[in-house]
Structure 1
């Protein structure tokens, strides 16, 4: 029974993430399971305790939200993604308040035929989202909550097959999780992946391809090949991602690892994610808060690489009271441009780093304090000098593909309780190419152990490059939450946050990918949000 509970949590946690990506349970669900470090370090086997071929799980979330953030364009009224004040028309108001309810269901199916004795299985996960009262009798995702419903709105998250050719090996083929972690996302607790590796800050989405994993008691190895965009099958105009990960266990609960990512971008401005396009010159980057390479509609090719290393100590937070993790990632490469004046192209060279520490002072896993720091390099000259010294993430190619959702912030960085609206102030590590210097502090406490929990937190962000007429201070956030567990895997939560914008928003510098302040010529009103959430994990 213990293994079955662990399996269910491990499988479903991977489904609750981001814009079509986030909704999460914390590690308080693990209190009555196992404290064995060996069990936590191993992949969770699907056959353990399960004697049926077809298994169904689901996650349900509904929430009521009050906020002063809203889209100015009716095009994004039902579904809003990207940087707050970016080109998605998202903004804040000192006089208008949004009130809305929204809902999500994520069904998850696993088919493991007994004929293959655990050597092959099929996974499929879907998503049904809407805002209450938004639309009926139509076609399209993220809508269908109006009178009578009848909307064609189911969205496919994953359809993939996992082969187990031998003990310790796993081969995943198809539309699958693309996480910047050495762990198998279908057999690992979601929280663990948001605090280790690169914490989904570079890659936290889905992609079609093939990944191969080799796990032993001391190490994890992962190789991946993904087709991010195909374009015309007869032409060399694809976007391809290659991935290598290695992680090694050390004594005293320590782990270290290294990785290499590489993108071969031959997209040439010929298509991409919906009408937004994809790649370095696309509107997509401005929506996601990434840096836009301003080559206009001219064709380009790019080879971008990420060399990184990461560490963690006591990542499951069960061996003792201290938890540490961090990463360093350096992106480099070259962009060739078919445009007069850009014969030498643009060289890419930037980096980001992160360090997080937590101390568990009480009797439960929810009695802890944490501090989280993140830094990314910026570029004061843009690409005018033929160089870009900022950071590039998956947000350049997906909407969004990078989701740094575990900092504890609600407004400065994205938070995890999201259905249709995903609009943090800093939605990409690059911070539009300006770079980032930020930290968060959080304190959690179980008033009633395993039943009633409170959380308070703060976040502070600075830009490493000062925009024209502005300052480096992005803003200061205070937030709080109270969570009550109604029953097994069922909870209701109340969250609130306010952010005081800094001098960074006194500028509207047109040298970068989008105006800093959106439609405001002066500093916008401070963003705030309050929401009540109901969650239920069904199995």
Structure 2
């Protein structure tokens, strides 16, 4: 046999041998989602006060409604937004797996092509490099009843995500002892040392987590958590989102309690949070209170939510402004979705464009007061409908955006939606929302006028696999 034939035979044998190694025991799991939605809105898509106008709350925005000093009339935008998420899990055994997830977004059809930019590539010709890495982490049961997650993972607080809800790098251990489930973890949000003093670990934004849940009985569950926020990174001041080159100085202890109680068709839940420490040289004592209820009525379900977050009327001295997690460019990495709002609060269907009147828990240091009700009614096994209403106000008016306002009342929202199951994993839906602005916005537009009321309408297609 010629030498090259011998080498070829050995190569084939090597590939065959590799295919019979234990690596072949890997169980490969693929999952993901696709969502496309048509949006017609004077709130999302065009800048929220004028077009082309200000940069806040625009295409691909993650910002707060800021109509101050701008024309009252708003152009209505119409566009299509698209997202796909692709997940792959390499499962070595029931105790060990690698979890990954990737995302491809189009902020709007027709944005750009033949380039390199996240959230773009939907113009003619496509050929855009825009894939994003969301998660890469190890999920392992390292001891009996002890689970470890290590890497870039999704993680949220135990208080309806009003403090943090994001992908973050860290390590978390959780366990289960009869009815008690404890968790301990450490996460590093940002490390800006390399850009300032060239020493990694010196200028960081970190979180330490202690969390526990206890099932008292089948009807009552209680929980408690301690979070320590330590942030001295170069980032955006959480109480001044216009300051983009600010060294944070946060040392904040957070204690929280939560509970859920079920009695027949009624479920009650809620939480209380206390923050104590310093935020940017200001001694801080802040708190948040929540109560929620769900009640089965006929073939549907009614729900109600109340949220109070403390605010501060000043910018010096002792502060009651509530602290929640931002990234290093000032985007909120948290959200309160249980209120089922579209414009007053963050929208559950929002993707790249994610704007709202209350975009952050702290609400520019002003805090918030909100009450929300809704009813979900399935009409058939394929068609589900829902309607919601809510009001919101700032807890304290601190003269944000230049001057005191006529009132603390932000506005009232009404919204409705209908979703129809087209196929087993494909749903088509419609959601519309309208907000009657409160006197907080009276006379704040250009020439002392009042902004027009915002609306948002979506036609949504979702596929999950």
Place the TM-score, normalised by the shorter chain, in its bin: 0.7 to 0.9
- Three-state SS of the structure 1 residue aligned to 2:89 is strand
Determine if contact 1:92/1:526 at 8 Å carries over to the other structure.
no
Measured after TM superposition, the shift of residue 419 of structure 1 is 1.8
Matched ranges for 1:371-450 at <5 A? 371-382=304-315, 384=316, 386-395=317-326, 399-448=331-380, 450=381
| CA distance in 1: counterparts of 2:133 and 2:405, whole angstroms | 45
Matching residue within 250, 260, 264 for 1:312: 260
Q: Which residue of 1 aligns with 2:282?
A: 346
| C-alpha distance after superposition, 1:58-110 (max 9, x if no partner) | 101111010012223579754111112179x9x89645110000111000110
| C-alpha distance after superposition, 1:279-333 (max 9, x if no partner) | 447x6x35xxxxx7xxx9675532112111111124xxxx842222111111111
Matched ranges for 1:126-525 at <5 A? 126-130=102-106, 131-180=108-157, 197-232=158-193, 234=199, 236-267=202-233, 269=234, 277-280=235-238, 285-286=241-242, 299=247, 301-314=249-262, 320-335=264-279, 345-363=281-299, 367-382=300-315, 384=316, 386-395=317-326, 399-448=331-380, 450-466=381-397, 467=399, 468-506=404-442, 521-525=448-452
Bigger mean CA deviation after superposition, 76-85 or 371-380: 76-85
Aligned CA distance change for structure 1 residues 298 and 435 (closer, same or farther; 3 Å): closer
Determine if contact 2:395/2:408 at 8 Å carries over to the other structure.
yes
- Three-state SS of the structure 2 residue aligned to 1:415 is coil
Aligned CA distance change for structure 1 residues 520 and 231 (closer, same or farther; 3 Å): farther
| CA distance in 2: counterparts of 1:93 and 1:300, whole angstroms | 35
- Three-state SS of the structure 1 residue aligned to 2:255 is strand
Aligned CA distance change for structure 1 residues 370 and 153 (closer, same or farther; 3 Å): same
Q: Which residue of 2 aligns with 1:529?
A: 456
1:105 pairs with 2:53 = no
Determine if contact 1:439/1:461 at 8 Å carries over to the other structure.
yes
Measured after TM superposition, the shift of residue 381 of structure 1 is 1.7
Q: Which runs of 5+ in 1 are unaligned?
A: 1-50, 181-196, 270-276, 287-291, 337-344, 509-516
| C-alpha distance after superposition, 1:346-381 (max 9, x if no partner) | 101110111110101234xxx100110000111112
| C-alpha distance after superposition, 1:182-228 (max 9, x if no partner) | xxxxxxxxxxxxxxx31111111011011111123412111110111
Bigger mean CA deviation after superposition, 529-538 or 483-492: 483-492
Bigger mean CA deviation after superposition, 483-492 or 394-403: 394-403
Larger radius of gyration: 2
Aligned CA distance change for structure 1 residues 525 and 240 (closer, same or farther; 3 Å): same
Measured after TM superposition, the shift of residue 400 of structure 1 is 2.4
| CA distance in 1: counterparts of 2:447 and 2:176, whole angstroms | 52
| CA distance in 2: counterparts of 1:56 and 1:108, whole angstroms | 6
Aligned CA distance change for structure 1 residues 278 and 86 (closer, same or farther; 3 Å): farther
In the alignment of these two chains, the number of paired residues is 422
| C-alpha distance after superposition, 1:128-159 (max 9, x if no partner) | 01011111011111111000111111111100
Matching residue within 91, 113, 122 for 2:98: 122
| CA distance in 2: counterparts of 1:258 and 1:460, whole angstroms | 29
| CA distance in 2: counterparts of 1:161 and 1:237, whole angstroms | 26
Aligned CA distance change for structure 1 residues 454 and 152 (closer, same or farther; 3 Å): same
Determine if contact 2:288/2:310 at 8 Å carries over to the other structure.
yes
| CA distance in 2: counterparts of 1:140 and 1:447, whole angstroms | 43
Aligned CA distance change for structure 1 residues 335 and 377 (closer, same or farther; 3 Å): closer
- Three-state SS of the structure 2 residue aligned to 1:422 is coil
1:96 pairs with 2:75 = yes
Matching residue within 49, 60, 74 for 2:34: 60
| CA distance in 2: counterparts of 1:520 and 1:399, whole angstroms | 30
Determine if contact 1:64/1:100 at 8 Å carries over to the other structure.
yes
| CA distance in 2: counterparts of 1:299 and 1:146, whole angstroms | 39
| CA distance in 1: counterparts of 2:246 and 2:166, whole angstroms | 28
Measured after TM superposition, the shift of residue 230 of structure 1 is 1.3
